[in-house]
């Protein structure tokens, strides 16, 4: 259970940290706030998942788990740590993740574990909006100018091979699925593919034919970008141990 | 540009909150939600294209507003309000 909770918590922590890089630099004021809102939603979700995870790590606090682990101990999907790139890439990445979370939380709401079910239900409301908002933007890019269509196409090319990692399993995950605590990851992936296919079709977008997927997500294997995120993320806790604000 | 009106509680009127920019109505609504209701300010949002707002700006202000200045009798201040009535 603890690895699964870390997977949920790490995903959202790193998504939040990455998106927050746009804070103050958004394309215009309204969108700047929209993205920062989403980043804060992720941080809020990760905080709840870490808090739950502390029950399985005696003597560790939420902050210990979030800020004081090493690179190989983070179980987030590689997609979450991938750089923001331009706005099309940021939106597409958040869209991929939103579809994943939406399907995941709809299923987790029915988990045999009532605490996990409650967390999923709370987060789902936020995620539905993330999905709606990013989909609106996809529409803008896909039906925009030659420039926006090119940028969106590049983003699909950059991100696609990292999407499979969202559905990689943690060590104990299959047991949890048998106990009906967490949904089956392969089923999630199929549904995810279905939604993406439908939306892409609506916007006249192409899913890459090359099915190669990066390996190592959920096992502590990361892209070369991850160390830099941790440096920034952990700086305060490392420099001022136990600092609060 | 879109003008944003927020209703703070069910039953109350929508009040002007500010302006957002957006390319479509859908986006305007989302932007209004993100900018003006992120601290639980609203239960309902209206957005209206700014160009459809008709304003009294530019109309002779004196003729428009001053005549109301000395019509004190239009205020319902000559009634006794029962103690039990709140929110008047």
Predicted local confidence at residue B70, as pLDDT: 85
Domain count, chain B: 1
Round to whole Å and give the CA distance between A34 and A206: 27
Q: Which residues pair with B5 in a beta bridge?
A: B16, B46
Task: Enter the DSSP assignment of A25.
Answer: T
Specify the CATH number for the domain of residue B37. 3.10.20.520
In this structure, is residue B32 part of a structural domain? yes
| Span A158-167, average pLDDT | 96
Round to whole Å and give the CA distance between B74 and B88: 16
A148 touches chain B (CB under 8 A): no
How many Å lie between the alpha carbon of B44 and the closest alpha carbon of chain A?
15
The number of C-beta contacts closer than 8 angstroms across A and B is: 28
Give the model confidence (pLDDT) of A90-120 as tens digits. 999 999 999 999 999 999 999 999 999 999 9
Q: Which residues pair with B6 in a beta bridge?
A: B15, B45
Give the model confidence (pLDDT) of B54-68 as tens digits. 999 888 888 888 888
Give the tokens for residue B18: 């500010």
pLDDT at A242 over 90: no
In this structure, is residue B10 part of a structural domain? yes
In this structure, is residue B77 part of a structural domain? no
Q: Do A133 and B26 touch (CB under 8 A)?
A: no
CB proximity under 8 Å: B 12-51 to A = 20-24, 26-27, 30-31, 33-35, 38
Predicted local confidence at residue A9, as pLDDT: 97
A169 touches chain B (CB under 8 A): no
Q: Do A34 and B26 touch (CB under 8 A)?
A: no
Predicted local confidence at residue A221, as pLDDT: 94
Give the domain range for residue B14: 2-72
ipTM of this complex prediction, to 2 decimal places: 0.76
CB proximity under 8 Å: A 180-219 to B = none
Predicted local confidence at residue B88, as pLDDT: 65
> Chain A residue closest to B21 (CA)?
A30
- Residues of B whose CB is below 8 A from A34: 30-31, 34-35
A133 touches chain B (CB under 8 A): yes
> Chain A residue closest to B29 (CA)?
A133
Q: Please give the CATH number for the structural domain made up of A2-239.
A: 1.20.1260.10
Give the model confidence (pLDDT) of A172-188 as tens digits. 999 999 999 999 999 99
Tell me the whole-structure pTM to 2 decimals.
Answer: 0.89
**pLDDT: which is higher, B87 or A216:** A216
Q: What three-state secondary structure class fits B81?
A: coil
Q: What three-state secondary structure class fits A76?
A: coil
Q: Which long-range contacts (CB under 8 A, 24 or more apart) does B32-36 make?
A: B32/B2, B32/B4, B32/B6, B33/A129, B34/A30, B34/A33, B34/A34, B34/A37, B35/A29, B35/A30, B35/A33, B35/A34, B35/B4, B36/B4, B36/B6
Round to whole Å and give the CA distance between B4 and B49: 9
- C-alpha of B21 from chain center: 19
In this structure, is residue B35 part of a structural domain? yes
């Amino acid at each position: 259970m603890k690895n699964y909770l870390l997977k949920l918590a790490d995903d959202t922590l790193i998504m939040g940290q990455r998106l927050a890089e746009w804070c103050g630099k958004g394309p215009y004021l309204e969108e700047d706030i929209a993205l920062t809102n989403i980043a804060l939603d992720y941080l809020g979700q990760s905080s709840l998942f870490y808090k739950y995870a502390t029950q399985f790590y005696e003597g560790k606090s939420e902050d210990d788990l979030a800020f004081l682990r090493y690179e190989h101990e983070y179980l987030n999907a590689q997609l979450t740590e991938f750089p923001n790139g331009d706005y099309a890439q940021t939106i597409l990445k958040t869209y991929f993740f939103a579809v994943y979370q939406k399907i995941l939380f709809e299923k987790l709401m029915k988990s045999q574990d009532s605490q996990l079910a409650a967390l999923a239900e709370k987060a789902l409301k936020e995620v539905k909006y993330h999905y709606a908002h990013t989909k609106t933007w996809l529409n803008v890019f896909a039906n925009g100018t030659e420039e926006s269509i090119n940028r969106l196409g590049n983003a699909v090319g950059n991100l696609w091979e990292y999407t499979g990692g969202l559905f990689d399993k943690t060590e104990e995950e299959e047991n949890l699925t048998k106990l009906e605590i967490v949904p089956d990851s392969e089923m999630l992936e199929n549904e995810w593919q279905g939604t993406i296919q439908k939306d892409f079709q609506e916007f006249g977008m192409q899913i890459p034919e090359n099915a190669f997927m990066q390996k190592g997500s959920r096992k502590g294997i990361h892209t070369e970008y991850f160390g830099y995120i941790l440096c920034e993320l952990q700086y305060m806790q490392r420099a001022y141990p136990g600092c609060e604000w | 540009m879109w003008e944003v009106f927020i209703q703070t509680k069910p039953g109350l009127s929508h009040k002007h909150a500010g302006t957002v920019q957006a390319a479509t109505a859908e986006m305007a609504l989302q932007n209004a939600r993100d900018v003006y209701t992120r601290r639980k300010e609203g239960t309902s949002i209206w957005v209206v294209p700014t160009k459809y707002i008709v304003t009294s700006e530019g109309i002779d202000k004196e003729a428009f507003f001053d005549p109301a200045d000395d019509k004190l009798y239009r205020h319902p201040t000559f009634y006794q309000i029962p103690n039990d009535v709140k929110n008047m």
